[in-house]
A and B are shown apart, each in its own frame.
Chain A
Amino acid sequence: MHSERAPTAGLAVNFAAYPFAWARHPAALPPMSGGIERQRHPVAIVGAGPVGLCVALGLASHGVRSVLIEADDSVSTGSRAICISRRSLEIIARLGALEGYLRIGLPWSGGRSFYRGAEVLRFTMPQDENQRLPPMLNLAQYHIEQILLDHAEQLAEMIDLRWQTKLEGIEPLIDGARLRLATPLGNYRLDADWLVAADGGRSTVRESLGLAMHGTSYEGRYVIVDILLDSKRPTERLAYFDPPCNPGSTVLVHRQPQNVWRIDYQLRDGEDADAALEPRNVMPRVASVLDMMGERGSWSPIWITLYKANALTLDRYRHGRALLAGDAAHLVPIFGVRGVNSGIDDADNLAWKLACVAKGQASARLLDSYSDERVAAARENLAYGAKSTEFMAPPSFAFALMRNAVLGLAVKHACVRSLINPRQTSPIAYTDSPLNRALDSSREFAEGPPPGAPLPECPLTIAGGWAGAEPRPGHVTELLGPRFTLFQFGETLGIPGELQHLERTLNARGVPFAVVPLLRSRAAGGPLLHAWDHTGRLFPMYGAAADTLYLVRPDGHVLARWRRTSAASVAAAIDQVMNCRGTQGAVHD
């Protein structure tokens, strides 16, 4: 939770503004009858932050309209999320908004930790020649939201944005929910078949439903300061433990675009939080950090916040017709940057399932798998987040003592350095998901992602997709779309008749599905979307040979894989997802 100190007039300290122009959006009232909006919505999403916007964009990509309710009149301000992971970028790419992120964001792949004056750890996140996207990209949350918003505004017929509209209460309906909304122009009610709560850590939806999160709240406090500073320093994560400039404290430094820098420093036990947030107390501590780093340029504070780590989650994210996502469902510590990234992953998992259910293609039970998979992911994120927090904000004398031992030994002894690694967010596999299929045939593979795992990235040459398309360099994740994708590994371009038939049958039923051939080498092809393994790395990475099939979900997680199989077993796997049969996990088919 944050308590924030925005720029205040009349202070001796001169605050700078964030280098961003907030567009203010007016409130609007829809056509109503008797105080209730005439139109009933398939999906209402509360909260137009990164998670709400990603859910809306995801639904739109599957052809499902939504109404997006936002209490504020603009994208967010203040010192919020700044690190977007590779997995999040992959999702954003599928939503069609990647370009803006790469244009504004600062990519980075590692960092350094110091103890007193000495460097004790240099870490790198996984980065190799197979990757399409950087492991991490820094940009401010107002940019994160604005880029998604710009994209959503282009889809106005699919995404109905309601600014300055505050949720005041929820009345359950038999087959949906009625929302009580307040705007400066007046109040109204709105009916929706499904409700998505993406309204943040203080979620009104969560409170209205009487749901409580469980877990750990940490006592350690950090002051988070965004400053404007002109510096040519590279983008990396810097951590200073017990630095000469701030003895006994821990300091973190992150670069953001446009000369904004994030400086986090830990308060000592017993330090008064209100006093610590006063600019006259913040300025000298930031100045001493910059001095230690050798930064001599002029700088100004922009925003000052107090942070305490929480590691909390709801036990379930589906409650009847309501689905909770992002901070409304779980609060993970900032250390390891799992907050917004886990929320974007929630949105990606939820959007295709909710679209299938809203369109009547899937049983509502499919949404229970959203809860199963994302609660498991939250527990994994919380376990890592807790480890990071125990190091960054030791919760007892013992954790503090052991940390000092590690840091002191790490100068000379490499064997303990892994304990300092900040455990940055990494993609999560839904290993125990009830949706995973064909587990026996998966065991025949020596390599490659098993059911539940996300796709490992690999370069390839993409061809076809439309008439006259030229072959172009690409990556395997670029072949995904808002559909089930069957990757057919092989030597030749043809798709067997029974798979062509399956594609036609499923598409006629409205189930989005496409077969995409992945070839060992270039083949003369027409407009059919396909790709070939020009590096020779794809087939071994996926443990694939001719006739190998990978069935991939719309969110890029593997559903099933076979060395060789019939169209009937592919059809059965998709059918079982849509009907959510065999929800006990280990279904063998």
Chain B
Amino acid sequence: MTEGDLDILYTQLCTAMTGLGEANASLFLARFALLAIARIDDAAAARGLIADAAEQLSRAPA
């Protein structure tokens, strides 16, 4: 995947979420996370990503 692909996918994700509305955003991202975990198909890698995603939040102010 190129930087250009990442850029396009980022915008598609934003646009999809905008269309679903803020109330649906958490559920949409949760579903995406589950599908991504299944597709990654690597328990250790997925565990690492869960930790990375949480780590930033624990350090940031509310």
* Closest Cβ neighbor of B4 among chain A residues: A418
User: Nearest CB to that of B13 among chain A residues?
Assistant: A402
Contact across chains for A411 and B56 when beta carbons are under 8 A apart: yes
Kindly state the interface size class of chain A when it binds its partner.
10 to 19
- Asked if B56 and A387 sit within 8 Å, CB to CB, the answer is no
Stretch at the interface among A391-399, A437-445, A547-555: A391-399
Given the complex, which residues of A lie within 8 Å of B56, measured CB to CB? 408-409, 411-412
> Which A486-510 residues have a C-beta within 8 angstroms of B?
none
Q: A398-B25, A401-B25, A418-B3 are in contact. Are A412 and B52 (CB under 8 A)?
A: yes
Q: How far is the CB of A498 from chain B (nearest CB, A)?
A: 45
- CB of B42 within 8 A of chain A? no
Contact check, A387 vs B7: say whether CB atoms are below 8 A apart: yes
Is the contact region of chain B dominated by helix, strand, or loop, or is it mixed?
helix
Q: Confirm or deny: B6 has a beta carbon within 8 angstroms of a beta carbon on chain A.
A: yes
Minimum CB–CB distance from B15 to chain A (whole Å) comes to: 8
Residues in A with CB closer than 8 Å to B3 are: 418
B17's partner among A401, A409, A412 (CB-CB below 8 A) is A401
CB of A315 closer than 8 Å to a CB of B? no
A564 within 8 A of B: no
* A116 in contact with B10 (CB, 8 Å): no
A116 to B6 CA separation, bound complex (whole angstroms):
24
Tell me the dominant secondary structure on chain A's binding face: helix
**A214 interfacial contact with B, CB 8 Å:** no
Q: Which residues of B contact A408 (CB under 8 A)?
A: 56-57, 60
30 contacts between A and B (CB under 8 A): A396-B14, A397-B18, A397-B22, A398-B13, A398-B14, A398-B17, A398-B18, A398-B22, A398-B25, A399-B18, A402-B10, A402-B13, A402-B14, A402-B17, A406-B10, A408-B56, A408-B60, A409-B52, A409-B53, A409-B56, A411-B56, A412-B52, A412-B55, A412-B56, A413-B52, A418-B3, A418-B6, A418-B7, A419-B6, A419-B7
Interface residues, chain A, with chain B CB atoms under 8 Å away: 116, 387, 390, 395-399, 401-402, 406, 408-409, 411-413, 416, 418-419
- Contacts from B to A (Cβ < 8 Å): 3, 6-7, 10-11, 13-18, 22, 25, 52-53, 55-57, 60
> A116-B60, A397-B22, A401-B25 given. 20 additional CB < 8 A pairs?
A387-B7, A387-B11, A390-B14, A395-B18, A396-B14, A396-B18, A397-B18, A397-B25, A398-B16, A398-B18, A398-B25, A399-B18, A402-B10, A408-B56, A411-B56, A412-B55, A418-B3, A418-B6, A419-B6, A419-B10
